[in-house]
Amino acid sequence: MLKRINLKQVRVGMFIEAIEGHWIDHPFWRNQFRLDRARDVEKLKSSNAAAVVIDTDKGLDVVSPSATKESAAAPKNPSLKRALETIEQSKPLITEMFENARMGGAVPVSHAAQAVRHIAICMQQSSRALIEVTRLKSRDEYTFLHSIAVSGLMVHLARAVDLDEETVRDVGMGGLLHDIGKMRIPLKVLNKVGPLSDEEMDQIRLHPRHGYELLARQGGVSRVILDICLHHHESIDGRGYPKGLAGSEISVPVRICSICDVYDALTSARAYKKAWSPTDAARFMLEQEGRFDRRLLMQFFHSLNL
């Protein structure tokens, strides 16, 4: 599990996954390594790095069990601070929506509107920080951080292609809710680390329909959001699911979601895989002939300065 910790909490035996800050702020030439020597611990503690991210699956954890991301040092970088605040403000809103969906209750969609307001403001001022911070996802935080990341990226791309602000809001809400149907899938299937059986894969592939049905049933949810929930795994060449839609049958908000969803999954660190660099993710996505809207994909990478 990845954990962002205070420099004071660093100790011998930890595996450093990332050092937060500019490379000139610390004396280490690589970012990922095991801290084996006491003098390296001292060097790190006395450096100007803002914080570090450790991988507790590969090395020791912090001494105090209460040491979590929330208790880490306040970041020096104001953009990073704003990004972390945005996540903290959005967390209870998103968690409640997802929990209600899991329990079969009504989803408080107004929470998504509230969270998108925070995310959209943050994407205007600190887009890079929010994108970077949400790439570090521990297993228990994955669903909600993925939702925030996809929402933020979708808002960013929707603005880059000049969609009107009302659609930008709906697109952002769609990003938060696109995978809500996964809450109806048994946790043992959803959290399985090894390869999935055909039957388990079929269950996972039902999540767009589950999400659509959940939101359509309760009413008052915009067409754009419903469309994103149901179709975000469709492919321009017609090889996606659930309906195998192709080309112009797939709306622009849905195309935006497909791009941002895959990009965030590729660039995120998971317990079982390293995060791909943005450039590697871009190269891979460009190689997927027929999967994405090519023009939007280029605009997306351009908007991220890739």
Interface residues with Fe ion (CB under 5 A)?
A: 179
In angstroms, give the least distance from the CB of 257 to Fe ion. Answer: 9
Question: Which residue lies nearer to Fe ion by CB, 170 or 179?
Answer: 179
> How far, in Å, CA of 304 to CA of 292, rounded?
17
CB of 275 to Fe ion, least distance (A): 19
- Name which of 179 and 293 has its Cβ closer to Fe ion: 179
Q: Which is nearer to Fe ion, 204 or 306 (CB)?
A: 204
Nearest to 57 by CA among 111, 10, 17: 17
Q: 17 or 179: whose CB is closer to Fe ion? A: 179
Least Å distance, CB 204 to Fe ion, is 8
Which strand (E) or helix (H) includes residue 113?
helix 109-133
**Residue facing Fe ion at closest CB distance:** 179
Decide if 284 contacts 247 (C-beta within 8 A): no
51-55 and 33-34 strand pairing: unpaired
Closest CB to Fe ion among residues 18, 254 = 254
Q: Is the CB of 11 or the CB of 243 nearer to Fe ion?
A: 243
Question: CB under 8 Å to 178, separation ≥6 — which residues?
Answer: 147, 150, 211, 228, 229, 232, 257, 261
Q: Are 84 and 118 in contact (CB under 8 A)?
A: no
Least distance between Fe ion and beta carbon 101 (Å): 14
Provide, rounded to whole angstroms, the least separation between the CB of residue 12 and Fe ion: 41
SS3 at position 82: helix
| CA dist., res. 300 & res. 258, Å (int) | 12
Residue in 289, 262, 302 with CA at minimum distance from that of residue 161: 302
Least separation in angstroms between residue 298's CB and Fe ion is 23
